[in-house]
Structure 1
Amino acid sequence: MDDSSGPKTVSPWYRRLALYFLILFALLWSIDTFFFVTLLGLAASFGVLSLNGSGFTLPSFNTTSQGPMSGKTLPASGFNFTKAIRIFSFIFGASFFFFILIGIISGNDDGASSTESTSAAPTDNNLSNADKGTTYYNLGSYDSAMIFYDKALAENASDLDAQYGKALTYFSQGDLDASLSWTQKSIRTKSDYNLSWWLLGDIYYTNQKYDSAAICLERAYSYHTDEPDFYLLMAQTYENLSFKERAIEFYKKVIEKDDTRTETIEHLITLDPDNAQSYKALLEKLK
């Protein structure tokens, strides 16, 4: 006899919905941006909420006996596992949903204050990926900068701008080990790249390895690095090494490039008392 005409059991739509959302949860698991994390949270929330309404049961914990006493009901155990899981899934789903909702509202508030900076994001399709990364770096969007630097390196593993950009971004994020690694890669790509030597010196200076910092900064100086911040780092390095005259030399270069740096001028008054009057006169001009 063909049983196909008999009654069929149709899975509740809740179960299908739970399955769809939990699959979405799995697909979005490895994507690390706020937008996708939001979708991830919503997927988990609706997944467990749908599971809660699906009539989910745990056959292993039912109270109907098996074997010789089949068909008879055993005494209640005093704890309903199925009900507990449903309650837990409801609380988890609802809590996660409201947590994500609050995050979205907070994100909108932050977005309103950052409209000016996001409007400056790169829109020129003619820019290289490395240039886009640098633009995002200058905006302080380090994660976005990394994405474009990685794209540039996927196209060309020897892209100097991308290598240096990653090194500088890691340095700004405080990851000195990663910054050191990428700085060294950029120097292997172009041994006379002054910015890489400057950054390498800054890494060693931050790690209080002043001898190594001085060597790297001198290399950068030999490649015609001529910025007040660079001279300031050199001066501070030599001062930490107790090379007073060399430190004074570079502090003077700082104010030659930018005579509005009052802190440097005031420091020179103390460090170089023989020329204190000239430094004080310079301060008077700035008032």
Structure 2
Amino acid sequence: MSLSIPGFNLDAFVAATLAEDLGSEGRDVTSEAVIPADARFAGVMDTRDAIVVAGMEIAEAFFRALDPDVRIDRLVDDGQQVPSSADLMRVEGSARALLTAERSALNTVQHLSGIATLTRAYVDRIRGTGATLLDTRKTIPGLRVLEKYATRMGRAENHRMGLWDAAMIKDNHVAVAGGVGEAVSRARAAGIARIIVEVDSVDQIEPALAAGATHLLLDNMTPPVLRGAVTLVGGRVPTEASGGVTLETIRSIAETGVTYVSVGRLTQSAPAADIGLDFVAI
């Protein structure tokens, strides 16, 4: 296994996910009742959608956790774009083990591939504009590192991983601090190197920059306003457009000259990819 995702423990994830499915007794009562202990299955995981693949090595780990002798032929790699009806993986091993691991493996690949596929659609839509797509912290609790991995497979870049790796000053911080400049000054005094400031009006830009902001998030601005904001910033810091961005609007936003466009729906509401796994007895 070559999967390397900072902050992600594959063995622990697989164990916790299987424990959730198998319960306190650690049993798949259906497979135990219906499938003979020595039965063997072969199966093919395939996609009914054209997708960008993500999560294959994790799926493989579920099968190996329950059948160390399973034979697996992984046919695609994460980040690869495949057409509908493409085969993703062939497996052969203990029928009970494969059936028990099936749902966890599929759930993971369906979810992560759905994110990667939607992400690639946004990336393709802004190709040639010079803007870079970012994800957000709008992730399912407990799955952030995986979901942000999936956006990377879709060719986006990660925004903050959490509250720890950069300051992001938003309207509530500004309200308590008494102004944009004061909020930024406090962050600089605290020794924070990366200070992202969300501005919802052009008149907040200069106070933020004067106080030491290193990145401006231009929130819910129309393309004409964004274009003016980018001109005002003049390349002094990176600019990011955010708020209500859709596939229909992202290109006009990206064409304003912003450095980044961030999209929460990449992780918040990407539809699961239609991926199945069919077994036959051998």
Q: Which has the higher strand share?
A: 2
- What TM-score, normalized by structure 1, do the two folds share? 0.26
Q: Which has the higher helix share?
A: 1
Greater RCO (Cα-Cα under 8 Å, separation 6 or more): 2
